[in-house]
Structure 1
């Protein structure tokens, strides 16, 4: 049985490495008790190979901190807040209300699973029909 599992792991690794250039995706997610929503995807970051988890995680962490001002939802970016961009994206995907939810930063490398970077938004996110609002407990 162990030999079969090892063979599948080797075949899977060979398949991933044969897919071409390595890539790393960075995205923000909001969790609820029933769902996980990708609320914003940032530009891909370059990595050297599909074994460089720390490289992908660190580059995404830097991109999150740069583009969101250290995960500050009220920071302005192109005349709008980071939270407003997220709320508009949610609204365009038919998610009209979010109340008191933190935004979490994840990365995905070469088609693998999404992995948590350890970053969360400084504030909770509240959206009302596409508008970023201050959260009231």
Structure 2
């Protein structure tokens, strides 16, 4: 009987080691608040100290989903930017999209990976390329400065 219990405990511990989730998600920071957009595929790790493999997995999934962070990259549902705007359902102006990881159901951590371009969505959740300011735009709109 003791041998049976020992075997059952060993099997339970061995299978539990592969059940630690590394969750990945796409977020947008609006006015200092992180806004969840969508989940990415989860990786199951052996232990909760596998921070780097978790972050790397999330970065890889983000790169795959966005084709290296490109909002204009085509997916079966349309450009990545349009997919994100549709999921958000709110206007967004000039914000970068980031990927976060969450190892073992703790806190979300920014992996440091972001989109190449900022995201812009209009009131009808349609994606558009954000306008880019040039130095000539700045020089025509800036107030003259008097130096003493």
Do Structure 1 and Structure 2 share a fold, with TM-score over 0.5?
yes
Distance 2:44 2:120 in 1: 32
1:84 to 67, 82, 96: 82
SS at match of 2:41: strand
Give ranges in structure 1 of 5+ residues lacking alignment. 1-17
| CA positional deviation for 1:136 | 1.8
Distance 1:21 1:37 in 2: 27
Q: Flag the structure with more relative contact order, 1 or 2, with Cα contacts below 8 A and sequence separation at least 6.
A: 1
1:22 alignment counterpart: 20
Aligned length: 116
Q: After the TM superposition, which residues 117-136 of structure 1 pair with which residues of structure 2 at under 5 Å, given as runs?
A: 117-128=111-122, 129-136=124-131
Unaligned runs of 5+ in 2: 1-15, 133-148
Counterparts of residues 60-99 of structure 1 (less than 5 Å): 60-91=58-89, 96-99=90-93
Q: Deviations over 1:67-106 (max 9, x none)?
A: 2111111111114111111111111xxxx20000001111
CA deviation profile, 1:21-49 (whole Å, cap 9, x unmatched): 20011111111225220112112123222
1:105 maps to which of 99, 104, 120: 99
TM-score (normalised: structure 2):
0.72
Measure the CA separation in 2 of the matches of 1:26 and 1:43. Answer: 7
Question: Are 2:19 and 2:44, in contact at CA under 8 Å, matched by a contact in 1?
Answer: no
Q: Counterpart in 2 of 1:15?
A: none
1:35 aligns with 2:47: no
TM-score by length of 1: 0.77
1:49-60 equivalences under 5 Å are: 49-60=47-58
CA RMSD of aligned residues (A): 1.9
Larger Rg: 2
